[in-house]
């Protein structure tokens, strides 16, 4: 896949930090949730998404536009990665993305298609695989990846991101469901060292789930019976205590 320009990023939040699951085109649901919490970006509030902004839902274009908002932050999801690969001009990559939820692109008129591709080519390579959210008021650090954190600790992952991640590490970040699969068999992981909480998405669940210091936030936005989940940093930390 196409490698992002910066594989790891750090964000310091002075206001409230709100974490959301896979958005999948549901811009309206996000607006409703932010209204409910009186979201105030002018006071330092920020939104952090676990990736998969686009595909499946009602308005992927509007969700892509969020990347230009100064209060919105996101890690790379597998759907953004597929779109980045489609930008290469390879027909097989384009067809793969269309099959996995990108058919909304075909509903756009040609000028809008071109404009969207130009915007995606500019914005998506800046999305990191990993994001560390530092919240001084809570003396807390919350890690964010789309699917899973490769390696045995958050520190090891951060150090690995100083060099191009190999395809196995990239797969873990974007596609892995190994931890949830093992939990389904009764095998529960130890907390991930080096971070207070790790927030992930990728696997749609009926309800958000947590174990140790891991939290999964994808509750199926973009699917008919799904919804977008939003938690603030205090709620995340309460789940992992």
For the CA atoms of 106, 112, 116, 119, the dihedral, rounded to the nearest 10 degrees, stands at 170
pLDDT of residue 90: 87
* pLDDT of residue 67 exceeding 90: yes
Q: Which residues pair with 231 in a beta bridge?
A: 19
pLDDT, tens digit, 9 for 90 and up, residues 12-29: 999 999 999 999 999 999
Residue-range domains of the chain with CATH: 8-171+196-232 (3.60.21.10)
pLDDT, tens digit, 9 for 90 and up, residues 81-117: 999 999 888 899 999 999 999 999 999 999 999 999 9
pLDDT, tens digit, 9 for 90 and up, residues 180-218: 999 999 999 999 999 999 999 999 999 999 999 999 999
pLDDT of residue 173: 98
pLDDT of residue 6: 80
- Please give the average per-residue pLDDT across 42-64, as a whole number: 97
* pLDDT of residue 3 exceeding 80: no
Number of residues in the chain: 241
User: To the nearest whole percent, how much of the chain has pLDDT over 70?
Assistant: 98
What CA–CA distance (Å, rounded) separates 202 from 218?
6
Average pLDDT of the chain to the nearest whole number: 96
CB 179 within 8 A of CB 189: yes
pLDDT of residue 5: 55
What CA–CA distance (Å, rounded) separates 126 from 76?
9
User: To the nearest whole percent, how much of the chain has pLDDT over 90?
Assistant: 95
pLDDT, tens digit, 9 for 90 and up, residues 150-179: 999 999 999 999 999 999 999 999 999 999
Q: How confident is the model at residue 221 (pLDDT cuts 50, 70, 90)?
A: very high
Estimate the crossing angle of helix 78-86 against helix 91-99, to 10 degrees.
Answer: 150
Q: Which of 24, 79, 146, 202 is catalytic?
A: 79
CB 206 within 8 A of CB 57: no
Among 47-51, 57-61, 141-145, 194-198, name the one with the lowest average pLDDT: 57-61
Q: Which of these, 48, 24, 29, lies nearest to 232 by C-alpha position? A: 48
Q: How confident is the model at residue 2 (pLDDT cuts 50, 70, 90)?
A: very low
* pLDDT of residue 1 exceeding 70: no
Those residues whose C-beta lies under 8 Å from the C-beta of residue 30, and which sit 6 or more positions away, are 20, 23, 47, 63, 66, 228, 230
Catalytic-residue membership of 202: no
* pLDDT of residue 39 exceeding 70: yes
């Amino acid at each position: 896949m196409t490698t992002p320009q910066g594989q790891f990023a750090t964000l310091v939040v002075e206001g409230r930090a709100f974490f959301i699951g896979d958005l999948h085109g549901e811009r309206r649901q996000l607006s409703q949730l932010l209204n409910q919490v009186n979201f105030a970006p002018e006071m330092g509030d920020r939104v952090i998404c676990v990736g998969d902004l686009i595909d499946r839902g009602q308005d992927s274009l509007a969700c892509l536009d969020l990347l230009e908002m100064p209060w919105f932050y996101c890690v790379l999801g597998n759907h953004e990665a597929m779109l980045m690969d489609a930008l290469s001009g390879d027909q097989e990559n384009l067809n793969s993305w269309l099959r996995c939820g990108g058919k909304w692109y075909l509903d756009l008129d040609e000028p809008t298609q071109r404009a969207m591709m130009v915007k995606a080519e500019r914005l998506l390579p800046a999305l990191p695989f990993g994001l560390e959210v530092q919240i001084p008021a809570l003396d807390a650090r919350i890690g964010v990846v789309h699917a899973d954190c490769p390696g045995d600790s958050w520190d090891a992952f951060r150090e690995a991101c100083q060099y191009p991640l190999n395809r196995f590490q990239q797969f873990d970040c974007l596609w892995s469901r190994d931890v949830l699969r093992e939990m389904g068999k009764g095998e529960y992981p130890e907390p991930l060292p080096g971070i207070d909480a790790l927030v992930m998405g990728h696997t749609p669940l009926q309800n958000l789930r947590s174990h140790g210091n891991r939290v999964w936030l994808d509750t199926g936005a973009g699917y008919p019976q799904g919804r977008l989940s939003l938690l603030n940093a205090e709620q995340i930390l309460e789940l992992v205590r």
